[in-house]
């Protein structure tokens, strides 16, 4: 039985990945901080932890020694480093913490991996935010695009990406970067714009809220579903050659389009309820992201199952049920 070690198992991607690997017959281990709880931790993940399908261990990316001891003890076949300070807007408020977690934290895990289980395979969660203002002439960002980040989050992710590539070359490690564009689900935290919009729209529909405050309505993002993207993580990690891959839907939608879609699904007009508030604007905005995932589609035969509309409708159905007490978090 293969063993997987996941940092950030409480989060959206960590929870879906753990379930995906359990279904493939893996023994799954996850690292959690003592004060770590996920707002949207699924009932299924809680059950899997309680039943012993997932073994959790206390640790922190800032403590290389704790990671090293765990890897030495578990000897995993695969390591997925997904833990991060993942909110871009928040990174402007806490830049030092963001860099400590997303940059130095990656180095700590890599060094623990190199010293404790160098024959394992290593996945690093990189981000489309690394590209920043770079857009190719055809409107895409791809693996070869110049990285020009515009946030502390994006800068921290560039370091993580490059240190993984360095360790791969210098120490002959099977270490890969997944350059994932935005990906969402019912498990996304409500401080992220997709779930913030969906939860608020459902609350408005049920008479629990009367308005929604947002920042930039005209930023464009390439939004996919987390379930599709964890499949991509596993596929690229198990490719014969350690490499880096963009994961995306190859479509882009504005925040305004997303709001219109969500509110229309609930028979509402978003213009009646949304108020723009400057406090939600970033000090430096990233206007446009659209990923070219041709490489992973052709090399690993991966493609997303969910459309943008299907994903947003699923999130709406979920929150309508939760807010009416019909369902716990999935």
Catalytically active residues are: 127, 129, 153
Measured CA to CA, the distance from residue 315 to residue 309 in angstroms comes to: 10
To which H or E segment does residue 76 belong?
Answer: none
> What is the spatial distance between Cα 106 and Cα 101, in angstroms, rounded to a whole number?
7
Nearest to 122 by CA among 187, 176, 83: 176
Residue 195, both tokens: 């779930």
The dihedrals phi and psi of 164, each to the nearest 5 degrees, come to: -65, -45
* Cα 295 to Cα 129, 232, 244, distances in angstroms: 19, 12, 9
8 Å CB contact between 182 and 286: no
Instruction: Please give the Cα distance from 301 to 281 (Å, whole number).
Output: 38
User: Under 8 Å CB-to-CB from 54, ≥6 apart: which residues?
Assistant: 9, 18, 22, 28, 29, 30, 45, 48
């Amino acid at each position: 039985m293969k063993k997987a070690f996941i940092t950030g198992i409480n989060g959206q991607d960590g929870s879906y990945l753990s379930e995906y690997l359990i279904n493939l017959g893996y023994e799954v281990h996850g690292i959690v901080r003592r004060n770590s709880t996920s707002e949207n931790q699924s009932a299924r993940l809680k059950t899997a932890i309680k039943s012993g399908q997932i073994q959790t261990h206390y640790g922190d990316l800032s403590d290389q020694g704790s990671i090293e001891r765990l890897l030495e003890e578990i000897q995993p076949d695969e390591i997925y480093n997904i833990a991060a300070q993942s909110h871009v807007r928040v990174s402007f408020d806490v830049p030092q913490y963001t860099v400590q977690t997303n940059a130095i934290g990656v180095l700590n895990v890599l060094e623990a991996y190199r010293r404790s289980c160098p024959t394992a395979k290593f996945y690093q969660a990189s981000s489309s935010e690394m590209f920043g203002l770079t857009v190719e002439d055809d409107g895409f960002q791809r693996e070869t695009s110049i990285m020009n980040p515009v946030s502390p989050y994006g800068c921290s992710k560039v370091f993580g990406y490059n240190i993984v590539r360095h360790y791969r070359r210098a120490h002959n490690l099977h270490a890969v970067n997944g350059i994932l564009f935005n990906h969402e689900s019912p498990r996304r935290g409500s401080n992220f714009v997709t779930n913030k919009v969906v939860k608020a729209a459902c609350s408005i529909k049920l008479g629990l809220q009367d308005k929604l405050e947002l920042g930039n309505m005209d930023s464009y993002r390439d939004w996919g579903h987390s379930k599709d993207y964890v499949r991509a993580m596993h596929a690229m990690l198990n490719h014969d050659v350690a490499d880096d891959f963009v994961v995306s839907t190859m479509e882009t939608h504005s925040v305004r389009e997303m709001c219109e879609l969500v509110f229309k699904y609930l028979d509402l007009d978003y213009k009646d309820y949304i108020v723009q508030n400057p406090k939600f604007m970033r000090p430096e905005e990233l206007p446009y992201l659209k990923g070219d995932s041709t490489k992973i589609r052709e090399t690993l035969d991966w493609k997303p199952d969910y459309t943008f509309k299907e994903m947003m409708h699923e999130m709406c159905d979920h929150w309508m049920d939760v807010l009416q007490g019909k369902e716990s978090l999935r």
